[in-house]
């Protein structure tokens, strides 16, 4: 299992469009991937799950992966969040 904290850079947070980009990237990996905010963990490959966290800009989230490509998955998802989803 590989875990990394990352602050959400874009002002509106993980609303529908950036959440969709995040989920598409997460689905490129074989590992199980979760996002955790304030002790609540959801499947990072589920749009409804990600949106249910209500992640706004400035929130720090944990990206957690477990599987054969866990380190690469976390690294690429963290990079995507840090980029602000090109907004």
Q: Report pLDDT for 86.
A: 67
Q: Helix, strand or coil for residue 60?
A: strand
Distances (CA, A) of 87 to 15, 21, 37, 42, 83: 12, 12, 22, 24, 9
Long-range contacts of 80-83 (CB under 8 A, 24+ apart): 80/21, 80/22, 80/25, 81/6, 81/7, 81/8, 81/9, 81/22, 82/6, 82/9, 83/9
Is residue 87 very low, low, confident or very high in pLDDT (cuts 50, 70, 90)? low
Active site residue 15: yes
Strand partners, 40: 37
Q: In this predicted structure, what is the pLDDT of residue 8?
A: 95
Query: Out of 15, 20, 43, 59, which one is annotated catalytic?
Result: 15
**Tens digit of pLDDT for each residue in 1-54?**
999 999 998 888 989 999 999 999 999 999 999 999 999 999 999 999 999 999
**pLDDT confidence of residue 19:** 94
Q: Which domains does the chain have, with CATH numbers?
A: 2-86 (3.30.1340.10)
Judged against a pLDDT cut of 80, whether residue 84 lies above it is answered with: yes
């Amino acid at each position: 299992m590989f875990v990394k904290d990352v602050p959400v850079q874009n002002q509106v947070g993980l609303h529908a469009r950036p959440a969709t980009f995040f989920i598409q990237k997460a689905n490129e990996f074989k590992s199980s991937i979760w996002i955790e905010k304030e002790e609540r963990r959801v499947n990072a490959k589920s749009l409804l799950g990600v949106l249910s966290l209500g992640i706004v800009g400035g929130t720090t989230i944990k990206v957690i992966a477990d599987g054969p490509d866990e380190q690469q998955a976390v690294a690429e998802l963290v990079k995507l969040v840090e980029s602000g989803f090109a907004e």
